[in-house]
Structure 1
Amino acid sequence: MNSRSMTTVMSALWLISGLAVAADKFDPTEDALNFISKMKVGKYDWPQWGGSPHRNNTPPGKNIPFEWNLETGENVLWAAPLGSQTYGNPVIANGKVFVGTNNTHGYLKRYPSKIDLGVLLAFEEKTGKFLWQASSPKLPTGRVHDWPQQGICSTVFCDDTRLWYNTSRGEVVCLDVEGFHDGENDGPYKAEPNQNKDEADIIWRYDMMGDLGVSQHNMCSCSITCVGDKCFVITGNGVDEGHINIPAPNAPSFICLDKNTGKLLWTDKSPGINVLHGQWSSPCVFEAGGRQQVVMGGGDGWLYSFDPEGDGKGNAKLLWKFDGNPKESLYVLGGRSTRNHLISTPVFYDGYVYVGMGEDPEHGEGNGHLYCIDPTKDGDISLELAVDDKGKEIPHRRLRAVDTTKGEKAIPNPNAGAIWHYDVVDRNKNGKKEFEETMHRTMGSVAIKNDLLFVTDIGGLVHCLDAKKVEDGKPVVYWTHDMFSAAWGSVLIVDDKVYVGDEDGDITVFELSNKLNVLAENNMINSLYTTPVVANDTLFIANKSTLIAIKEGAKLKGGVKQGSTEDGGSE
């Protein structure tokens, strides 16, 4: 049976099971609220990337505006200045908003704006008032480990009085959400340079570079998640400045820490010498097939699932792995590569895992792949296996799994776990591979609701698919929309609307429908590299330099002024 026939058979089975599941009316918003209800945060807070460990950005919300005007302040509650480059997504919990950026605004007197730092900022949720800043001085090794002006690129996890995040220095840090406003220096870490109210109070800090020998490439941007007492992290271990050698092949790519103490519980170095570039994905945790799983995207283009408990001896316990690249794909520097790795975060929806392949956007829009995966299988569940000219399976290789000039080939994997694979769907049936029928590289995670899946790509397309229906071995693609500008972030689905930002600084709002209906396009003045989120019926958007809170009926006097030093406020 060839791979196309096998995919068709799997798709038929998926369609049958999908129809049965549809009767249950799975609601990802209720799914997220169930997780949030077990945390010590507000009922309608959004306390981590994707709201829950399932990572599906579908928060609750009522009367969320789909039109606003930053110049006049219509529907703008407040705006707070950030640095000049912002990649970290806002998180809202217990009356505060947390977002990562750089230091060009210079909130702290001891760190004026000319000093380059990675910073995490805390604001008051209702007013946008600045509360405190966590500062991460740049690493002395320079851009290979800590790219200038990029700041904090990760998104925090917040629960109760603490938050956890990855710094630009390759550290996992636990902070007191009150900073020093509570008049206490919580420990065990007590070595803060001061206890000023506008600075962070560190609870504990784990140095992945110093303690594990990790050599992160450009930045450490994993948005960690915690389940129970465990904190799951992708370390960022990558290539050197020449983009060829891996300085620390034996350093772990995936780790688990005790979230209360920072103690290392287990590690895994599966990508090893096969890391293509960097490792900038984030973990997803769920239960499927009667077992808990933590799924992490590797810099080798493989998706790995582990038992969250590890093997009890300090090592990971692998459940399954999935190669997101065709075996004949080739990795080369620049835009000519057909081989990708994982930057987006895997999303768990109604029993299945969804993930797209990507690359550094400087390497071009390239060939993209999007998958739906059955996580109940074990072992290697890739679509294909690589074998040599004698039919013997070939060990994992970095640049190319199969070299056909040597008689090697890819064969269907009888244990394949891919339900469907989206790269190209010829919707107009003209036999041509057209731009708007193609999935390009993506850094964005999917968002799914009502079985409608939305995803962005670096080419500037927004894709709308049916998460369950399959025809001729391919998912049903309802529509694509060209924003004519690259999309770095992910999708927000809320209040029966879909929000997508782009590098030109526009937020396009669509109806949540399998018919293309653009409701509005709102200019955000500056480029968008983050994802919109909603908490407590307020829309939060961070463009490159400003955090903006949008709420129906609000009116910000004077509008939004980029680079303003005012805390903000509304009337």
Structure 2
Amino acid sequence: MTARFTIWLAAVAGLAFGGPAAPAADWPQWGGQPGKNMVSAEKGLPDSFVPGEKDPQGAGILMETTRNVRWAVRTGGMTCSTPAVAGGRVFIGTLRDGHGALLCLDERTGKPLWEWTAPTRDVPTTIDGRRFEFSRFPRQLGVCSSPAVDGDRVYFVTHRLEVLCLSTRGRPKTSPAAAAGAGAMLSRRCESVDVARPACPAPPAGGQVVGNIGDALPRPDKPAVPHFLVSFAPPGETYAGPAATAPPAQAPPAPATEGKPASAPPAKVRWPQGPGEAEVIWTFDIWDMGVRPSDACDCSPVFDERFLYVCTANGVDRQAESKVHDEFRAVPAPDAPNVIVLDKKTGRLVAMDGVRFPERMFHGQWSSLALGKVGGRTLIFFGGGDGRCYAFEAPAAEAPASPGRSPPDDKPATLKLAWSVDCNPKEYQVFGDMPMITHYCLGDRRRSDGINKKGDGSFVGMSEIIATPVFHNGRVYVAIGRDPEHGRGRGALWCIDAAKTGDITETGRVWCYQGLDRTLSTVSIAGGLLYVADVGGRLHCLDADTGQCHWVHETGAKAWGSTLAADGKVYMPTDKGLWVLAAGKEQKVIGKIILGAPAWASPVAADGVLYVASTNYLWAVAAKP
């Protein structure tokens, strides 16, 4: 397992902003609601379950060997995505045969309803003469983003660095011959607009209407200019001419290692197939904005009444042995945005942030966004790749939609920065005579010249933010962390007064807890108590108001997912199983469930059911009547 591969196995944990969940409620997005507090009000969730034995023929789980399991589904070869549950359906991202996939399952039975799948993007291996290593990671990870469901639409970020809006209903599968005569949604281009809505005439001669995967649209008059799809016409606006259908892509061969040829594709696995396929409503291509990600595209979108908010995953591309920002450790897109805002109906780019920090970029930007109402305004909370937590003012809901205009014609607004906090304590920023980035790089335990050799969590250094900020009762809770392959090290969990403005590192600090390791986990706050896991496998219970630690539970495992507080219990996923502890000021272990594979995704609860995902399976856990 490669270093930069492992980071993405982790990043991927009333609906009033920051409010509690309602009983028997859906879990429609990462964190359940826009404030991202990992808490559910569901009752009657089992204390334990038996995952069951795997079918030796590869068909899934033998249900007669399970206990307290409503259904179980084999999801894919690597599942990092946390499921979303809404409208009687379960949505989860995964990897299948080297392709990214989003599955839609029946909530009651687990039956596959439809799936979206696409090959990885063909990206350059060098940029400005420097090696660009991103291409290999999507083939190992697939879709890491947790979907966000709003009514009859589901949004997610693909492994191709696209934001997709799909119909939750899907559509029946059609043969290529039938699809050619049935008509297809007509797309608009990012570089120029060749067709106008609502008439939707045929594209220029030689052009094509492209289906599900958001590839470039051919232009005979400008063959050298990429024209990536931005959005599909709204439902009801169709092009009746022939539609191009992409041939099924084959799984790529495993990458070659030095001195060895590339291996053949692995044998086919019997994935459960749904009767339907995805129906794409619109696509927005983040890559086409100039963004160049590090490792993976994992942001989980968040939405409000009108807009969709997404972290772009712009980051550093570097060789692991590098320790300075030079030709071997560069930020390929220093001027690219970190946060974008889209019109959730059309995919139009509405706004982006104006903050840039390439000289302070440690590795990548994988923290999903949260929203919160503060003083009559909506704030967007973003954990940056420089270790700072940012709050931006969201666009006004009454902003004009400019229908029919593409992003180049309709200049996006710049988000107003409300405040920021440096979440690396001052005592973590002592580097001696070496540059900050060098100290950060030498904190990687794998380096022969590294300075983080003990592996006991005592190393002191800077980190980025990977966890999602949580907005709760007017405060923001967020912790710093790194790629777990860097080893253990001192972490810091902050409680921030969200009503302040400016650089509020000092003035906005309510408390800062430094008794934990680096962490990738988003916190759970329930009953005045905060629960958070760290990469060292410890679960911390704190007073949410004061930061006082009540207890710490040692699991002896790796914890890269997030906790879920529900039904008087705290569920904690690890690479060795799912721990269940009693919620409260007294430490009490209820049990541990061995899943047979690591759990990198976070557990969620909806409609009286607990959903638990390992790297290959998804279980719907509920006491049987």
The answer on 1:323 being equivalent to 2:422 is yes
Per-residue deviation, residues 475-514 of structure 1 (Å, max 9, x unmatched): 210000011011111011111111101011x111111111
Rounded Cα–Cα distance in structure 1 between residues aligned with 2:582 and 2:15: 20
Rounded Cα–Cα distance in structure 2 between residues aligned with 1:231 and 1:80: 30
The answer on 1:480 being equivalent to 2:538 is no
Which residue of structure 1 aligns with residue 526 of structure 2? 449
- In structure 2, list runs of 5 or more residues that go unmatched: 1-13, 53-64, 126-132, 175-181, 188-208, 212-243, 247-273, 321-328, 400-411, 431-435, 446-451, 453-459
Per-residue deviation, residues 180-209 of structure 1 (Å, max 9, x unmatched): 149998845462165995321111101111
The correspondence for 1:498, drawn from 545, 556, 570, is 570
SS in 2 for 1:262: coil
SS in 2 for 1:362: helix
The correspondence for 1:519, drawn from 585, 590, 602, is 590
Which residue of structure 1 aligns with residue 477 of structure 2? 354
- In structure 1, list runs of 5 or more residues that go unmatched: 1-28, 104-112, 384-415, 425-438, 470-474, 555-571
1:176/1:186 contact within 8 Å kept: no
2:19/2:35 contact within 8 Å kept: no
Change (3 A) 1:139 1:510: same
Change (3 A) 1:216 1:198: same
The correspondence for 2:286, drawn from 181, 205, 208, is 208
Which residue of structure 1 aligns with residue 3 of structure 2? none
- Post-superposition shift, 1:136? 2.8
Which residue of structure 1 aligns with residue 198 of structure 2? none
Rounded Cα–Cα distance in structure 1 between residues aligned with 2:364 and 2:293: 7
Rounded Cα–Cα distance in structure 1 between residues aligned with 2:377 and 2:167: 33
Which residue of structure 1 aligns with residue 498 of structure 2? 375
Mapping for residues 46-445 of structure 1, pairs under 5 Å: 46-71=27-52, 72-103=65-96, 113=97, 116-141=98-123, 143-145=133-135, 147=137, 148-181=139-172, 187-189=185-187, 191-192=210-211, 197-210=275-288, 212-242=289-319, 244-273=329-358, 274-309=360-395, 314-327=413-426, 328-329=429-430, 330-331=436-437, 332-333=440-441, 334-335=444-445, 336=452, 338-383=461-506, 416-424=507-515, 439-445=516-522
- Post-superposition shift, 1:60? 2.2
**Segment drifting more, 306-315 vs 516-525:** 306-315
- Post-superposition shift, 1:277? 0.4
- Aligned residue type for 1:74: R
Rounded Cα–Cα distance in structure 1 between residues aligned with 2:425 and 2:568: 36
Rounded Cα–Cα distance in structure 2 between residues aligned with 1:442 and 1:517: 22
- Post-superposition shift, 1:269? 4.5
Change (3 A) 1:185 1:453: farther
SS in 1 for 2:611: strand
2:21/2:41 contact within 8 Å kept: no
Change (3 A) 1:316 1:508: same
Per-residue deviation, residues 133-155 of structure 1 (Å, max 9, x unmatched): 21131122375145032111110
The answer on 1:551 being equivalent to 2:607 is no
- Post-superposition shift, 1:31? 5.3
Per-residue deviation, residues 114-160 of structure 1 (Å, max 9, x unmatched): xx111111111111111222113112237514503211111011011
Per-residue deviation, residues 306-354 of structure 1 (Å, max 9, x unmatched): 1101798611111001111134254422234711011100011111110
Q: How high is the TM-score relative to the length of structure 2?
A: 0.70
Change (3 A) 1:465 1:34: closer
SS in 2 for 1:468: coil
Rounded Cα–Cα distance in structure 2 between residues aligned with 1:176 and 1:30: 22
SS in 2 for 1:355: strand
SS in 2 for 1:455: strand
- Post-superposition shift, 1:33? 10
Rounded Cα–Cα distance in structure 2 between residues aligned with 1:94 and 1:202: 18
Rounded Cα–Cα distance in structure 1 between residues aligned with 2:474 and 2:185: 40
Change (3 A) 1:285 1:345: same
**Segment drifting more, 51-60 vs 182-191:** 182-191
Change (3 A) 1:43 1:549: closer
- Post-superposition shift, 1:270? 1.6
Rounded Cα–Cα distance in structure 1 between residues aligned with 2:354 and 2:145: 21
**Segment drifting more, 68-77 vs 341-350:** 68-77
2:535/2:558 contact within 8 Å kept: yes
1:54/1:286 contact within 8 Å kept: yes
Change (3 A) 1:34 1:420: closer
1:154/1:165 contact within 8 Å kept: yes
| Identical positions, percent | 36
- Aligned residue type for 1:492: L
Rounded Cα–Cα distance in structure 1 between residues aligned with 2:417 and 2:17: 26
Per-residue deviation, residues 400-452 of structure 1 (Å, max 9, x unmatched): xxxxxxxxxxxxxxxx211000113xxxxxxxxxxxxxx11111100000011
